[in-house]
């Protein structure tokens, strides 16, 4: 219950902070105009990430006063590291939302935040390779691996943030799933009660949920780079301290349920979108930072799905992947995956063969 409580505090504070941030965005001219690659139809203020940052900091402060979290907040420097890194990446992301920083400057911001995490000990120490055992990381490798992990997570969330409510919903679903998985590891005695990972996961879910009512189509505010990079950083922090510190996983789990692999399954939608974007731009000899209209949400729009339906489809895929990762951790039988496979097939058919799409195709051919 205490994890749900801090998540709820993050949600409420974020929701209450959004109107104030919206006024600030209008005053400083942080407004995203329609046109070009943007699919929204009206000018919309951004900087929503600042409201989420307030939610994170207040939720952390509240958690530090709950007795059950004493080992997390008073015997470790990690909470301070997460709070400082979150503040740095969000504030610099907000500056980017106002003045539009270059791609190298954004990466430098992400590396700076990752360096703060590493300095305060928020990093992985070892990880399990399926069929190969435990790989213990040399201390000299930790800064680089932490930076790679943060840059990958923040850019994955940033790239998927292309439709109203899409990134916030995906992060909320994935964070809840990862939080449940982390608590399951604690129940099995494979993750210490002092781990900050579950706290960060539920706080991340809370601030994403609190922001979502303001961001769902038609959005009244965007999270901007400030919000996308903040959520990515929080996910990177949670997954690294859980996946990079759990030495053993129960034998009942399938091989790919090593803790460090779980985030890639749960966050399959943004991860696949990022990998496809990198491959696509490499094939055309373009910079990785080169924008295009070929992301997953753009492809769904081209197929004929409206913005709300496209968002719902990608949310559903995130939920399906999360269930696919979580169910075997609780139910060892492989037959437990069958309902998930059925649901995945239904979602795939809906995505490809929705009646509206067929009618749209038929009208176009008839014309």
Q: Which residues are annotated as a binding site for Mg(2+)?
A: 158, 225
Query: Residue 218, preceding bond cis, omega within 30 degrees?
Result: yes
CA 356 to chain centre: 30
Beta bridge partners of 31: 45
Q: Per the structure block, which two tokens stand in for 40?
A: 């929204």
Question: Nearest-CA neighbor of 235 among 297, 150, 163?
Answer: 150
Contact indicator for 325, 262 with CB cutoff of 8 Å: yes
Query: What are the helix (H) ranges across the chain?
Result: 2-28, 48-64, 70-73, 78-99, 103-119, 142-160, 166-187, 197-215, 224-243, 262-266, 268-283, 296-303, 307-330, 338-353, 355-366
CA 224 to chain centre: 14
Binding-site residue set: 158, 225
Q: Per the structure block, which two tokens stand in for 281?
A: 């731009």
Q: Report the C-alpha gap between 226 and 224 in whole angstroms.
A: 5
């Amino acid at each position: 219950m205490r994890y749900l409580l801090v998540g709820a505090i993050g949600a409420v504070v974020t929701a209450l902070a959004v109107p104030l941030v919206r006024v600030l965005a209008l005053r400083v001219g942080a407004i995203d105009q329609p046109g070009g690659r943007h699919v929204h139809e009206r000018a919309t203020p951004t900087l929503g990430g600042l409201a989420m940052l307030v939610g994170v900091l207040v939720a952390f402060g509240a958690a530090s006063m709950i007795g059950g979290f004493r080992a997390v907040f008073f015997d470790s420097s990690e909470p301070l590291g997460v709070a400082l890194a979150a503040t740095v990446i969000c504030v610099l992301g907000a500056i980017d939302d106002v003045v539009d920083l270059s791609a190298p400057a954004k990466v430098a911001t992400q590396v700076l935040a990752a360096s703060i995490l590493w300095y305060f000990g928020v990093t992985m120490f070892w990880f399990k390779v399926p069929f190969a055992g435990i790989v213990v990381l040399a201390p000299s490798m930790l800064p680089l691996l932490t930076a790679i992990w943060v840059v990958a997570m923040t850019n994955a969330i940033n790239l998927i943030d292309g439709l109203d409510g899409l990134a916030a919903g995906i992060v909320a679903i994935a964070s809840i799933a990862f939080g449940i998985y982390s608590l399951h590891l604690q129940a099995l005695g494979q993750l210490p009660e002092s781990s900050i990972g579950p706290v960060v996961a539920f706080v991340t879910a809370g601030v994403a949920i609190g922001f979502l009512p303001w961001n769902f189509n038609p959005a009244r505010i965007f999270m901007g780079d400030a919000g996308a990079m903040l959520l990515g950083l929080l996910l990177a922090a949670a997954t690294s301290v859980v996946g990079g510190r759990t030495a053993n996983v129960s034998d009942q789990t399938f091989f790919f349920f090593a803790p460090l692999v779980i985030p890639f399954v749960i966050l399959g939608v943004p991860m696949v979108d990022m990998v496809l974007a990198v491959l696509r731009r490499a094939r055309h000899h373009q910079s990785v930072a080169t924008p295009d209209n070929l992301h997953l949400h753009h492809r769904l729009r081209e197929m004929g799905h409206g913005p709300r339906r496209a968002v719902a489809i990608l949310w559903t895929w995130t939920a399906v992947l999360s269930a696919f990762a979580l169910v075997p951790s609780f139910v060892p039988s492989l037959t437990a995956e069958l309902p998930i496979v059925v649901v995945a097939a239904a979602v795939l058919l809906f995505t490809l063969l929705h009646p509206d799409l067929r009618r749209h195709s038929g009208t176009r051919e008839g014309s």
